[in-house]
Structure 1
Amino acid sequence: MGRLRSELFFEKAQKIIPGGVNSPVRACKAVKSNPVFFERGEGAYLIDADGNRYIDYVASWGPLILGHAHPNVIAEVYFASKRGTSFGAPTWLEVEMAELIRECIPSMEKVRLVNSGTEATMSALRLARAFTGRKKIVKFDGCYHGHSDSLLVKAGSGLATFGIPSSPGVPDELTTHTISLPFNDQEKVTEAFEKYGSEIACVILEPVPANMGVVPPKEGFLQFLRDITQKYGALLIFDEVITGFRLGLGGAQGHFGIKPDLTCLGKIIGGGLPVGAYGGKADIMSLIAPEGPVYQAGTLSGNPIAVSAGLATLKELKKPGAYARLENLTQALEEGIREILKELSLPYQVVRCSSMLTLFFTDKEVTDFQSALSCDTERFASFWQGMLKRGIYLPPSQFEAWFVSLAHSEKEIEITLKALRETLREVG
């Protein structure tokens, strides 16, 4: 499987783009490889610049839940683009999107559309601080909420992949207001609130972290966070940029039955195009300008093409049986991996939540960022290379989720498991 054109493209890219990529994990350094350059996607498959086909489990890091180039999404993008690419003014599509989001996630009584998940979390933090009049925020080690300054403290995703605990250029004065705690640790959260309770504006978390690999919350942990934030007058923010519409139409909050004060969305509501949103209780959201004094703006927020793609995606997900099919496909993948691990006497951990899963190269139960870091990343790199050689494209990092889409079928799952068995026999 030659990738000559990818190698040539990367060589040229490094001369003009920092690291040759526009987002760090794409560089594939953690898996000791050069990146693959892709030309197109078809359903469950990606086709690279050299014409090689791969079954895709990255799915643009989650949003392509319908697969690549879904005909209904493409049609809506085409018709929207014929009407104009951007107006910098309101359109009905924005209202329709906000109404659909509120219908699916009732805690989002009012919704503001933005351009990315990073914008959504950054804006939600500003709003939480304004609403409470407090400065400190609580986050969790290994949870990634975008690259805004206050949140680049013990973050997962690319920072975990590259071993970067924070980032140069982030002022100490900002990070002193960020308290980062172990995920799933009620005792540490209680200690933080006992010490700083009157200063904490909010707790922000991925309700199911997917940026240190998939790590579900322990039973009762989310309810504990709901209770302690209410006790101390802090807000609870769910970053559902990944879990929103992945775990069901109601997101993780619908899945677990927990109602946060604010929710951040992204990825899927753009159907693969750049869009995000944040929303929550009406009295909190009413502080956003022009209704209130908290400023946040964006020329491309609610872009008609992006919103059209997102609406088409969400309407497909509302069709009967969509999530049941996703569940069955991902369950088949999970069970197949478990059988292979047992067959080969390998101690690795498979963790799944709905249509997201991670194969952790460790014999330890993964419940937080620290236990995730026990993984054998060298062996994972060999595994990733072996799977790529066999036509399976996985996230190029041990600390990311695999995503199954509705474009996958039993055939793709079977091919994947065959490749996985062969690769694990090879690398151990």
Structure 2
Amino acid sequence: MLYTRSSQLFAEAEKVIPGGVNSPVRAFKAVGGTPIFVKSAKGAYLYDEDGNRLIDYINSWGPMILGHAFEPVVQAVIEKAKLGTSFGMPTELETQIAALAVSMVPNIDKIRFVNSGTEACMSAVRLARGFTKKDKIIKFAGCYHGHSDSFLIQAGSGAITFGSPNSPGVTAGTAKDTLLAKYNDLENVATLIEANKNEIAAIIVEPVAGNMGCIPPNKGFLEGLRQLCTDNKILLIFDEVMTGFRLAAGGVQELFNINADIVCFGKVIGGGLPVGAFAASSEIMNYLAPLGPVYQAGTLSGNPLAMAAGLAMLQALDADRAIFQRLEEKTAYLAAGMEEVLKANNVVFTINRIGSMVSVHFDADPVVDFQTAAKGDNETFKKFFHGLLQEGIYIAPSAYETWFITDALTYEDLDFTIQAVDKVSKTF
């Protein structure tokens, strides 16, 4: 495939945008080469500026669960735009989507809409600290909760030490209140809690990790976190920005029948427009201004275009709950097909999947946390990525990202992808 136009556009972008992109993973730094510039998308396919068609396994990093340019969402946005794009005042739409979300997700009474997943997670942590009157939080290595200062933390020197900033601009003072735990390791979490008795406001976790590849929780891990939080008066925050309304109508809480105290949303809940949200019981949510002392605000929060897109998306999912089973079946079919051809070509690999999330790791050992994810052969992944790209398939340009399956994918698309994996893996 030729990417002449994309290369030209990237060169122009680099002159006026840092790194030529507005989000770092788009820059292809992890895989090499020049980013693909998209011109349009429909259903399961991307169409780039050079006229190439690509089967899409990113789907805008998750929200396009029903495919690109899903007609009910597009029409909802068009009709709403005709009436005005932003008011900075309440609209009925906000109540409608809030009521629908609350009805679909277990264990929440109220929800507040913001403009991104980062904002949702940042606000959830502030709310947890205000509600518990404690300062520290626990997060997990490899789990990404946006680029808020509290979350850009790397490991300290031991299990009970404070984390340290892993980005310039994050102060040591901020980092000292973030403790870093090991995903799928309850003993490690218990040690951190014991060493910081009565100081921890919240544990925030991707209940199914998607930012070190797809990593489901080990049996008993989420249940153990719930018990540790209950026993120590700590709030459990599920970051369901990726998994909410994707793995089930009610997200991971429904899938595993585990109640979090606060849940964060993004991606699917906005139908592809910039939206985030966080939700909890009335008792916790009533601590937010204007009812309570914890301040959180946003000029464009509840933007009518985003609310229209999100409402249309949730209505479609609510009306067709069978979609989650269809997505599970398609993902299982794809994973089984890839496993067969990778084995046949003597490739060392592990495939993780759950629901409509799947990832390929080029290492033989189980991938259960960031440390094991980091063992993967990145040179093989680069060949895999570029090989699939040449075959007309677009996956995340990073070994640390999950693939997202969309209902718009046909079994013909999946078979084509499996054949492409077979062809590419013969070159390793």
Alignment TM-score, normalising by the size of structure 1: 0.96
Q: Distance in 2 between matches of 1:320 and 1:185?
A: 33
Taking the aligned partners of 1:154 and 1:422, their CA distance within structure 2 comes to 38
Q: How many equivalent residue pairs? A: 419
Q: Deviations over 1:263-307 (max 9, x none)?
A: 000011110000010010111110100011111101110111111
- 1:47 corresponds to: 47
Aligned pair in 2 of structure 1 residues 320, 297: CA closer, same or farther (>3 Å)? closer
Q: Report the Cα distance in structure 2 between the residues aligned to 1:143 and 1:389, rounded to whole angstroms.
A: 31
Contact between 2:208 and 2:214, CA under 8 Å: does it hold in 1?
yes
Q: Residue by residue, what CA displacement relative to the aligned partner does 1:122-159 show, whole Å, maximum 9, x if unpaired?
A: 0000010011111110000000000000111139xxxx
In the TM superposition, what are the counterparts of 1:232-271 in structure 2 within 5 Å? 232-271=232-271
Aligned position for 2:230: 230
Structure 2 unaligned residues grouped into runs of 5+: 156-163
Match of 2:132 in 1: 132
Matches of 2:43 and 2:257, distance apart in 1: 32
Equivalents in 2 of 1:194, 1:71: separation in Å? 52
The alignment partner of 2:296 has SS state of coil
- CA–CA separation in structure 1 for the residues paired with 2:321 and 2:389: 34
Distance of 1:243 and 1:140 partners within structure 2 = 17
Aligned-partner SS, 1:357? strand
Q: CA deviation at 1:377?
A: 0.8
Is the partner of 1:426 in helix, strand or coil? coil
Structure 1 unmatched ranges of 5 or more: 156-163
Query: Offset of 1:320 from its aligned partner?
Result: 4.3
| Match of residue 334 from structure 1 | 335
Deviations 1:142-180 (Å, cap 9, x if unpaired)?
Answer: 00000000111139xxxxxxxx97100000000011001
Question: Percent of counterpart pairs with the same letter?
Answer: 50
Deviation of the 1:393 alpha carbon:
0.4
Q: Equivalents in 2 of 1:166, 1:241: separation in Å?
A: 22
Deviation at 1:115, TM superposition (A): 0.4
Residues 1:295 and 2:295 are matched in the alignment: yes
Q: Given that residues 140 and 182 in structure 2 are in contact (C-alpha distance below 8 angstroms), is that contact kept between their aligned partners in structure 1?
A: yes
Distance 1:220 1:179, change over 3 A: same
Q: Distance in 2 between matches of 1:187 and 1:325?
A: 36
Measure, in 2, the Cα distance between the counterparts of 1:153 and 1:104.
33
Q: Secondary structure at the match of 2:120?
A: helix
| Aligned-partner Cα distance in 2 for 1:218–1:246 | 20
Q: Does residue 37 of the first structure (1) align with residue 37 of the second (2)?
A: yes
**Partners of 1:108 and 1:280 within 8 A in 2:** yes
**1:119–1:276: 8 Å Cα contact kept in structure 2?**
yes
Distance 1:256 1:166 in 2: 32
Task: Quote how far apart the aligned CAs of 1:365 are.
Answer: 0.7
The code of the aligned residue for 1:390 comes to E
Partner of 1:15: 15
Tell me what 2:215 maps to.
215
Paired with 1:362 and 1:154, the residues of 2 have a C-alpha distance of 24
**Residue in 1 that maps onto 2:388:** 387
Task: Map 1:40-119 onto structure 2 (within 5 A).
Answer: 40-119=40-119
The answer on whether the counterparts of 2:249 and 2:321 sit within 8 Å (CA) in structure 1 is: no
Structure 1 runs of 4+ with >4 Å offset: none
CA distance in 2 between partners of 1:348 and 1:217 (Å): 19
Aligned partner letter, 1:296: Q
Task: Tell me the distance in 2 between the aligned counterparts of 1:65 and 1:186.
Answer: 32
Q: Distance in 2 between matches of 1:151 and 1:278?
A: 17
> What letter is aligned with 2:330?
L
Give the C-alpha shift of residue 262 in structure 1: 0.2
State the secondary structure of the residue aligned to 1:198: coil
Whether the 8 Å CA contact 1:101–1:108 is kept in 2: the answer is: no
- The residue matched to 1:183 in structure 2 has which SS? coil
Counterpart of 1:362 in 2: which secondary structure?
coil
Q: Is the 8 A contact 2:184 2:221 kept in 1?
A: yes
Q: Check whether the contact 2:342–2:421 (CA below 8 A) recurs between aligned residues.
A: no
Amino acid at match of 1:327: E
Once the two structures are TM-superposed, the CA of residue 312 in structure 1 deviates from its matched residue by 1.0
Query: What letter is aligned with 1:420?
Result: V
Contact 1:142 1:154 in 2 (8 A): no
Give the CA deviation at 1:14: 0.5
Q: Separation in 2 of the partners of 1:215 and 1:323?
A: 19
SS at match of 2:54: strand
SS at match of 1:336: helix
